[in-house]
Amino acid sequence: MKSSLMSNYGSPDLEFDHGKGCYLFTADGDQYLDFAMGIAVNCLGHCHPALVDALTRQAGKLWHTSNLYRISQAERLARRLTDLTFADRVFFSNSGTEAVECGFKMIRRYQHNKGRHKRKRIIALSESFHGRTLAPIAASANPLHMEGFLVGDAGFDQVSFGDGAAMAAAITEDTAGIVIEPIQGEGGIRIASKEYLQQLRDICNSHDLLLMFDEVQCGLARAGSLFAYQQSGITPDILASAKGLGGGFPIGACLSSNKAAAAMVAGTHGSTFGGNPLASAVANAVLDEITAPGFMDEINSRANYLHQRLQELVERFPDLLQDITGAGLMIGINCKVNNSELMAALTTQRLLSVKAGNNSIRFLPPLNVSQNEIDEALTIFESVLKNWQP
């Protein structure tokens, strides 16, 4: 049947009817083990009872009022996020790209407020991904995402990921701030070292630039700590979050220090839907689960097991796999065979994964994945590798 949807997603033919925990089911009853989780979104699996409960309770009470009025669910969520992080202030959006966009606006507005009107440029990293609205595509400068969309110079520069000297050299009197994913996702999973993040922090401090971390993918316990930056001890001025925050319900957040937020006075930014009662109620329920005592330890013990077992497969199949990267349950498998073909073979065997740059695939299981589900995924992966026909 001809689709009326735009062709920007190609034409996927696999469709799911319902989901439970780590599994998705087609209308015919075929069961798939989901290690894609809506690209790191369904952080507690499909239809987690506590999230269904929070959603349905709030749905019967109040969905949306707009930010013309106080929203106690959003205030509670913001308070919990600031209590748990470096941040003093939060802006809620509906997606990751909007959370990033808010951060970019804050960086420029901060400098503007200081009377440094030339300081508008933001430096991003090679192979980064910050979303699909106009500013984020200009930041990442991926030709595939950018071509035909931009007008003139959008005010972003790019330097090589991990190269502190190149970053220092790239700062000019027009630079306003730096944006980095502490763990790159779409470009292939790459971790910024603590030393590199410290270099960026030092550069920002010495030029009074704002440092922004994009944790849309690696945040919300995905990498083994509530936010990835907390493992490095290097604190940003601004942090973009989304994906796992709503466990599948659309919500994003831009977290910031008081210093970075000071220029965002009434009227400077907004969103009709951002932080509405329904989205905020679900995100509060996500936080209840993720911050429960012992939850993070469980993630890390499962993640260690999965990393170890994948490492064994790399050693057993050195012609097919290059290496394993990532942290926590954000895992990249760099391939020697074509990543699309490997992903397709896994899908045929009913294991869902996600492609990324650098010829890799990602395993992004739910944070509450069980040992049995990990073993099941590893059995499928091993059999696909064993039977691999070039």
Footprint on this chain of ligand PLP (rule: CB under 6 A): 39, 95-97, 100, 129-131, 181, 185-186, 214, 216-217, 242
Comparison of 180 and 320: residue with beta carbon closer to ligand PLP:
180
Amino acid type, 300: N
Comparison of 104 and 381: residue with beta carbon closer to ligand PLP:
104
- Shortest Å, Cβ 165 to ligand PLP: 25
Comparison of 331 and 374: residue with beta carbon closer to ligand PLP:
331
Task: Show Cβ contacts of residue 191 under 8 Å, excluding neighbours closer than 6 positions.
Answer: 182, 183, 325, 326, 327
Q: DSSP states of 366-384 as a string? A: -TT--HHHHHHHHHHHHHH
Comparison of 85 and 217: residue with beta carbon closer to ligand PLP:
217
Q: Give, in order, the Cα–Cα distances in Å from 302 to each of 41, 163, 375, 376.
A: 18, 32, 11, 13
How far is residue 208's CA from residue 380's CA, in Å, rounded to a whole number? 51
- Shortest Å, Cβ 98 to ligand PLP: 7
Comparison of 256 and 320: residue with beta carbon closer to ligand PLP:
256
Nearest to residue 164, comparing CAs of 137, 194, 134?
194
- Shortest Å, Cβ 47 to ligand PLP: 21
Answer for the pair 158, 125: CB distance below 8 angstroms, yes or no. Answer: yes
- Shortest Å, Cβ 356 to ligand PLP: 10
- Shortest Å, Cβ 93 to ligand PLP: 9
Comparison of 128 and 257: residue with beta carbon closer to ligand PLP:
128
Answer for the pair 17, 26: CB distance below 8 angstroms, yes or no. Answer: yes
- Shortest Å, Cβ 252 to ligand PLP: 6
How far is residue 155's CA from residue 153's CA, in Å, rounded to a whole number? 6
What crossing angle do the helices spanning 339-348 and 371-386 adopt, rounded to 10°?
Answer: 120
Other beta carbons less than 10 A from residue 73's beta carbon: 20
Rounded to whole angstroms, the maximal C-alpha distance in the chain is 64
- Shortest Å, Cβ 330 to ligand PLP: 10
Comparison of 215 and 373: residue with beta carbon closer to ligand PLP:
215
